[in-house]
Amino acid sequence: MKKILFVDDNNLFASRVAELIVRKYYDFETFSCGVKVDRKVTDAESRALAEIGIDSLGYEPTHINEYAGQKFDYVVVFTKMAMKYAKMTIHPKPMFILVDEIIDNDLTKCYNARNKTIDSVEHLFDIGAIE
């Protein structure tokens, strides 16, 4: 089974959404992490996650250093900062920048970020960038 790592800034939103969507609908071993894990999920993010079945109660984000030295078939990043740290920490074949992560306490922006994350990940599979 191929392994895919999703990386964003805090591992609280985009990377978790992507990890769980791909795990549910595609045949991949999935992981997610952040390059700085210095905050908790906001109430707005928690509501946006709950609507797609992701429980954020008690969730502890994973730092990218937990995956240093591991091999992945794909690393998907969501921000320029995540790309910078992923290149220094993880050395797989391809990397893709998808979207700049939108994290905001505003519920509408959280829904937009969630939907954009799902659409972007699905697009990678649709165009064959991830097989």
- What's 103's domain CATH number? 3.40.50.2300
What domain count does the chain have? 1
Q: Would 8 be classed as within a structural domain? A: yes
The per-residue pLDDT for range 23-80, each reduced to its tens digit, is 888 889 999 999 988 777 777 777 877 888 877 777 788 999 999 888 888 888 888 8
The parent domain of residue 68 ranges over 2-126
The per-residue pLDDT for range 91-104, each reduced to its tens digit, is 655 556 565 555 54
Amino acid 108: pLDDT:
65
Q: Would 9 be classed as within a structural domain? A: yes
Q: Would 18 be classed as within a structural domain? A: yes
Residue 54, both tokens: 């992701």
pTM (two decimals) = 0.81
Provide mean pLDDT across the span 100-111: 58
Distance between CA atoms of residues 90 and 36, nearest Å: 15
Q: Would 79 be classed as within a structural domain? A: yes
Q: Are 8 and 101 in contact (CB under 8 A)?
A: yes
Q: Would 106 be classed as within a structural domain? A: yes
Q: Would 72 be classed as within a structural domain? A: yes
Q: Give the list of residues 6+ apart from residue 128 with CB closer than 8 angstroms, or none.
A: none
